[in-house]
Amino acid sequence: MPDAERRLTKEGVLKMEREAHGMARLGLKWDCLYSSPYPRALETAKIVQKTLDLPMVEVVESLACGYFGLGALQELTARHNSRAELLFVGHEPHLSMLVERLTGANVEMKKGALACIETHSPEPDAGILRFLLAPNQLVSLGDAGRE
């Protein structure tokens, strides 16, 4: 099946719900949620949006499996004040490459991973990688909160 048509499996939905509960336990909130239009990314974004009671998901074509780089990021961040907290749901290897460009950190964003970057200017090496959570870490946090 072409990547642009793949949906989350039942197991993927359940895992993402557990990850979203982990995000909630950390007290994470975002001012805006951007997603690739591809079904599995959009489903992921909607699970996070619903679980954390966030604003509606905004679909961004450039987050599809094309290259979502600094130009696209700068265009989206220009819509917000410098203190806005934004969440981007997209695909690999593009998100890992973006984290590297912003922070200089060499990271691998597994499916469902979460990177937090603090920056006042979306320019190369202007960001600080505050944390990178693997999917299993988010799942563990989510599960611990339900016990």
Ordered by start, the domain boundaries in the chain are: 3-144
Q: Tokens standing for 16?
A: 């993402």
Give residue 83's pLDDT.
Answer: 87
Fold category of 3-144 in CATH: Rossmann fold (3.40.50)
Give residue 95's pLDDT.
Answer: 92
Which letter does DSSP use for residue 56 in this model? Answer: P
Q: Which residues in the chain land under pLDDT 70?
A: 147
CA 104 to CA 60: how far, in whole Å? 25
For the chain, the average pLDDT equals 93
Does the pTM exceed 0.85?
Answer: yes
Give residue 147's pLDDT.
Answer: 66
Give how far Cα 97 sits from Cα of 61, 68, 103, 116, 126, Å: 18, 9, 10, 14, 14
* Strands 57-59 and 86-89, bridge-based pairing: unpaired
Could you report the per-residue pLDDT of 117-145, keeping only the tens digit for each?
A: 999 889 999 999 999 999 999 999 999 97
Give residue 134's pLDDT.
Answer: 97
Give residue 142's pLDDT.
Answer: 94
Give residue 1's pLDDT.
Answer: 82
Give residue 112's pLDDT.
Answer: 93
Give residue 19's pLDDT.
Answer: 97
Q: Provide long-range contacts, Cβ within 8 A and 24+ apart, for 65-68.
A: 65/3, 65/4, 65/36, 65/38, 65/91, 65/94, 66/94, 67/94, 67/97, 68/94, 68/95, 68/98
Contact 89, 63 (CB under 8 A): yes
Give residue 102's pLDDT.
Answer: 95
